[in-house]
Amino acid sequence: MTGPDSAVRVRNLTKRYGDHQAVAGVDLDIHHGEIFALIGPNGAGKTTCVEILEGYRHRDGGEVEVLGIDPARADAHWKARIGIVLQSTKDFAELTPTEALATFAAYYPSPRPVDEVLELVGLTDKRKTRADQLSGGQRRRLDVALGILGNPELLFLDEPTTGFDPDARRQFWGLIEDLSGLGTTILLTTHYMEEAERLADRVGVIAAGRVVAVDTPTMLGGRGAAAAVVSWRGPSGPEHTATDAPTKVVRELAETFGGEVPELAVSRPTLEDVYLQMIGAAQ
């Protein structure tokens, strides 16, 4: 059984499609109440893993428990405890958000009140607007509204902000943070490293069908201990040095230049840097 702190427990998960080993022994734990981001290149196996956790796809081998239940043998009661927001949906275009939510509420034993859900996702002002008249960001909020309507303990978000402009993406991040603040456990898949860094308590990197690393965004791949790179423009052109003491280097440069250092910059490996290194080593 899952432990008291585990919403998801996976051990040696495998799945094959013909000759292709899509998932090759995944181990994973997701804690209650956290936002966990699963990142990886296309074809790495993350979609297959998530679909197995959702109970949508059967596995070939391994142990899986989601909210204490094996999804392969889950009943309607278990399904009411999870929420799923797919990457894209095009249903109920003729319905308003109020009508769509009221329709789907009938499928849950204890749904959230429709007005409460509309307020949570910021669609109160659009409650009587047909879905096909909503903007892309508003339509995505409706998708999330349907996903949280049943008051789920665990919410699956599949690349929720694909196609969003920067402003809409940041507004959506605020919504996800609000949901997490209510105690919802969230499993997020995304290709946006900035999104994973902003939202996730922990990040898992999957490559070639295996989880190759799990850590906080700031510590993944040794980011927290990585040397800083100090760069500047010297008399002969751009210069840089890697150091564990960037403040000391900057102070010495300031003394050398007698004040302002031309084009001074201090940087450490980004989440994208360590992610690309990990998936490159795993392929």
Instruction: Quote the domain boundaries for residue 237.
Output: 227-267
Stretch 233-248: mean pLDDT = 92
**pLDDT tens figures, 45-63:** 999 999 999 999 999 999 9
Same domain, 129 and 94: yes
123 domain-assigned = yes
Measure the CA–CA gap between 84 and 54, rounded to whole angstroms: 8
What is the predicted pLDDT for the residue at 234? 93
282 domain-assigned = no
Same domain, 203 and 262: no
Same domain, 239 and 195: no
Residue 195 has pLDDT above 90, yes or no: yes
Give the pair of three-digit tokens for residue 60: 């070939």
Q: pLDDT class for 187, splitting at 50, 70, 90?
A: very high
Same domain, 86 and 126: yes
**pLDDT tens figures, 25-49:** 999 999 999 999 999 998 889 999 9
Nearest to 29 by CA among 50, 53, 58, 9: 9
CATH of the domain at 159: 3.40.50.300
Same domain, 144 and 193: yes
Pairing of strands 154-158, 185-189: parallel
- Is the Cα dihedral 101, 104, 106, 110 positive or negative? negative
149 domain-assigned = yes
DSSP E strands, the chain? 6-17, 20-31, 35-39, 61-66, 82-85, 154-158, 185-189, 202-207, 210-215, 228-234, 237-243, 265-267
What is the predicted pLDDT for the residue at 88? 64
259 domain-assigned = yes
Count how many domains the chain has: 2
Q: pLDDT class for 90, splitting at 50, 70, 90?
A: low
What is the predicted pLDDT for the residue at 205? 94
Stretch 163-180: mean pLDDT = 85
Q: pLDDT class for 220, splitting at 50, 70, 90?
A: very high
Same domain, 115 and 236: no
Same domain, 210 and 147: yes
Same domain, 161 and 259: no
281 domain-assigned = no
Most confident of 79-93, 154-168, 182-196: 182-196
Measure the CA–CA gap between 121 and 21, rounded to whole angstroms: 39
Same domain, 20 and 134: yes
Same domain, 43 and 149: yes
Stretch 237-241: mean pLDDT = 94
Helix pair 97-105, 136-148: axis angle to 10 deg: 20
**pLDDT tens figures, 127-156:** 999 988 988 888 888 988 898 899 899 999
Same domain, 48 and 133: yes
238 domain-assigned = yes
274 near 220, Cβ under 8 Å? Answer: yes
163 domain-assigned = yes
